[in-house]
Amino acid sequence: MKKFLRISAALAALAVSAISCTDRTQVLKVYNWSDYIAEDVLEDFEQWYEAQTGEKIKVIYQTFDVNESMLSKIEIGHEDFDVVCPSDYIIERMLNTGDLLPLDFAEIPDSINYIKMNRAPYIEGMFRSINPDIDANDYSVAYMWGTTGIIYNKKYVTPEEASTWNVIRNPKFANKVLIKDAPRDVYAPVLIYLKQAELAAGNTTLASLMRDSSDESIAAVKDYLLSVVKNGVYGWEADFGKEDLTKDRAWVSLNWSGDAVWAIDEAKNVGVDLDYIVPEEGSTVWFDGWVIPKYAKNVKAATYFIDFMCRPDIAIRNMDETGYVAANGAREVLESQIDEEYEPIDLTYFFGEGADSIRVNPVLYPDAKVIARCALEHDWGQDTEKLLTMWQEVKGAE
Ligand code: N2P
């Protein structure tokens, strides 16, 4: 895996002012997660766009680390990003608040309509489940997907210790624990952990926990997280945590599967043995998707950009460099990941018939059994504020 394309907000702002005299139809403003695209893909898009349309385009690329900060730039700041990559529950919120434009691919010739050619039914089904009244597939195209779990250093932590969320407050790993600075993605596993007896007794379901924003549950998760802080955390991280793991500074990380793939791979090169597990109590499955916010100024280029991201060779490059898994159902994508070193797993849920015994990295593509204990997060509307307040209080308690 190579170094990521990092364009700082300051640089991007400079670029914007430098081209401020340029016609806005020649500018595409992309707002994506950091460490989430392969190098040179943006330049390739500029060339491809010109070849397809005869028009020049300059991509202005900005990044974010936290869903909620990205959202506030659009919800409150009304920034004119043309294409943005929020997570599932944020897409749900943007649909509910009317902040998204419907996608229209009619102008894109069939021969290059990569979205149509490579849809993954599993992901489309998840999108459809977001909102019973509006089909999210009409407003968004998934980019990457994965699970939330525990990355651990095999020298210090056993698979048994890592297979419960409670590993984050295990005294053996005090001050060696990294927590993703992503309030919803930490809240969900902690709540699942706290409610495991009720889940086992059938008194609640993972799906209903994903909508649980009650004061009682927020307070219970807060207490738990305060005990984690008391035990000792190494840090709350956005993207730098991968390096703390590969350099042996942290041993346990509550993290996303894509960061795990990247970190495991990098660590191998320096003799550090990491692994990733989705704890037994259950977890979240998530996806991030491209959307066009209602303040967009270049819908045409945004639409072509989304299409280009679905071209299988581009999806493969993005996967190989970031560690994340493209939400792309193309056979070519699956074949690019097959590796005889892995045990066969059942991927029919994603690639359909004939994919019941595929040798791929199970961190990238979880086996159907893992997926069965994962659920999708949902928007909390106004209650999100309560969570963000709790999150600041917990982090401030360090
Ligand atoms: C990559 C961020 C991935 C976002 N840095 C996972 N939802």
The Å distance, Cα 146 to ligand 1 centre, comes to 9
**154-174: string of b/e by CB count within 10 Å (b at 16+)?**
eeebeeebbbbbbbbbbeebe
Residue with the bigger pLDDT between 2 and 368: it is 368
- pLDDT value for 354: 85
Helix, strand, coil % over all residues of the chain, rounded to 5: 45, 15, 35
Is 76 within 8 Å of 336 (Cβ atoms)?
no
- pLDDT value for 241: 80
Structural domains of the chain in order of their starting residue, each with its CATH number: 3-145+287-332 (3.40.190.10), 146-285+373-395 (3.40.190.10)
The Å distance, Cα 130 to ligand 1 centre, comes to 19
Q: What is the number of the ligand 1 atom nearest to the C-alpha of 286?
A: 7
Is 284 within 8 Å of 194 (Cβ atoms)?
no
When pLDDT is cut at 50, 70 and 90, the band that residue 118 belongs to is very high
The 10s digit of each residue's pLDDT in 373-393 is 999 999 999 999 999 999 999
Residue 73 has pLDDT above 80, yes or no: yes
Side-chain half-sphere of 316: how many Cα atoms within 13 Å?
Answer: 13
Place of tokens 């909102």: 131
When pLDDT is cut at 50, 70 and 90, the band that residue 13 belongs to is very low
The Å distance, Cα 110 to ligand 1 centre, comes to 31
Find out whether the beta carbon of 256 lies less than 6 Å from any atom of ligand 1: yes
CA–CA separation, 287 vs 325, rounded Å? 10
- pLDDT value for 150: 98
Find out whether the beta carbon of 224 lies less than 6 Å from any atom of ligand 1: no
When pLDDT is cut at 50, 70 and 90, the band that residue 19 belongs to is low
- The chain-wide mean pLDDT, for the chain, equals 93
Give the range with max mean pLDDT: 16-25, 292-301, 362-371: 292-301
The 10s digit of each residue's pLDDT in 121-161 is 899 999 899 888 899 999 999 999 999 999 999 999 999 99
Residue with the bigger pLDDT between 367 and 82: it is 82
- pLDDT value for 362: 94
The Å distance, Cα 145 to ligand 1 centre, comes to 9
- pLDDT value for 21: 55
The Å distance, Cα 140 to ligand 1 centre, comes to 17
Residue with the bigger pLDDT between 353 and 295: it is 295
Q: Kind and range of the H or E element at 184?
A: helix 183-194
Find out whether the beta carbon of 36 lies less than 6 Å from any atom of ligand 1: yes
Residue whose CA is at the smallest distance from ligand 1 atom 4: 33
- pLDDT value for 17: 47
Q: What is the number of the ligand 1 atom nearest to the C-alpha of 87?
A: 7
Find out whether the beta carbon of 287 lies less than 6 Å from any atom of ligand 1: no
- pLDDT value for 7: 45
Structural tokens at position 151: 């990355």
Q: Taking residues 101-110, what's their average pLDDT?
A: 94
The 10s digit of each residue's pLDDT in 246-281 is 999 999 999 999 999 999 999 999 999 999 999 999
Q: What is the number of the ligand 1 atom nearest to the C-alpha of 322?
A: 1
Q: What is the number of the ligand 1 atom nearest to the C-alpha of 238?
A: 5
- pLDDT value for 169: 97
CA–CA separation, 75 vs 293, rounded Å? 10
When pLDDT is cut at 50, 70 and 90, the band that residue 240 belongs to is confident
Q: What is the number of the ligand 1 atom nearest to the C-alpha of 288?
A: 7
Is 296 within 8 Å of 302 (Cβ atoms)?
yes
The 10s digit of each residue's pLDDT in 254-263 is 999 999 999 9
Is 291 within 8 Å of 391 (Cβ atoms)?
no
The Å distance, Cα 359 to ligand 1 centre, comes to 25
The 10s digit of each residue's pLDDT in 171-197 is 999 999 999 999 999 999 999 999 999
Type of residue found at 135:
D
Find out whether the beta carbon of 35 lies less than 6 Å from any atom of ligand 1: yes
Is 147 within 8 Å of 377 (Cβ atoms)?
no
Residue 11 has pLDDT above 50, yes or no: no
- pLDDT value for 256: 97
Residue whose CA is at the smallest distance from ligand 1 atom 2: 33
Q: What is the number of the ligand 1 atom nearest to the C-alpha of 256?
A: 6
Find out whether the beta carbon of 33 lies less than 6 Å from any atom of ligand 1: yes
